[in-house]
């Protein structure tokens, strides 16, 4: 009977060892698959980050271009107004007549002479 018990124990031990080796192999495969999945997630994150960076860069450039265009238009208007202001504008006949009336009124008030 001793031999039969030994053989039964050996068979159980071998079966237990086989189960452990099978579980170990499955665990190694699961770890390898998890590593591959991590690599895919990291690469996807990198691609998303690059895409976001490119989109942000395009948006910033568009804002800069719009700002530069607006600034150039405003500077052109200021320059045109400056050029216009630099050249003396002659008085119109109506403006000249109004100015002469105002000067005459001030002169009469200063000397208190009747008109």
* DSSP assigned state of 113: -
The whole-angstrom separation of Cα 14 and Cα 99 is 122
CA 36 to chain centre: 32
List per-residue pLDDT tens for the chain, 115 residues long.
Answer: 576 676 777 888 899 999 999 999 999 999 999 999 999 999 999 999 999 999 999 999 999 999 999 999 999 999 998 888 888 788 899 999 999 999 999 988 888 766 5
Q: Do residues 99 and 91 touch, judged by C-beta distance below 8 A? A: yes
As separate numbers, helices (DSSP H) first and strands (DSSP E) second, the chain gives: 2, 0
What are 109's two structure tokens?
Answer: 């008030």
Of the CA atoms within 13 Å of residue 98, those in its CB half-sphere come to 5
* DSSP assigned state of 74: H
Length of the chain (residues): 115
This prediction has a pTM of: 0.49
The whole-angstrom separation of Cα 25 and Cα 30 is 9
């Amino acid at each position: 009977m001793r031999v039969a018990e030994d053989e039964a124990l050996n068979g159980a031990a071998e079966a237990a060892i086989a189960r452990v080796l099978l579980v170990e192999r499955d665990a190694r495969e699961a770890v390898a698959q998890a590593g591959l999945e991590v690599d895919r997630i990291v690469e996807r994150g990198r691609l998303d980050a690059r895409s976001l960076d490119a989109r942000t860069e395009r948006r910033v450039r568009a804002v800069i271009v719009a700002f530069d265009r607006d600034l150039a238009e405003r500077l052109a208007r200021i320059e045109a107004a400056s050029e216009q202001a630099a050249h003396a504008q002659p008085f119109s006949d109506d403006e000249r007549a109004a100015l002469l009336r105002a000067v005459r009124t001030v002169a009469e008030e200063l000397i208190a002479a009747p008109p």
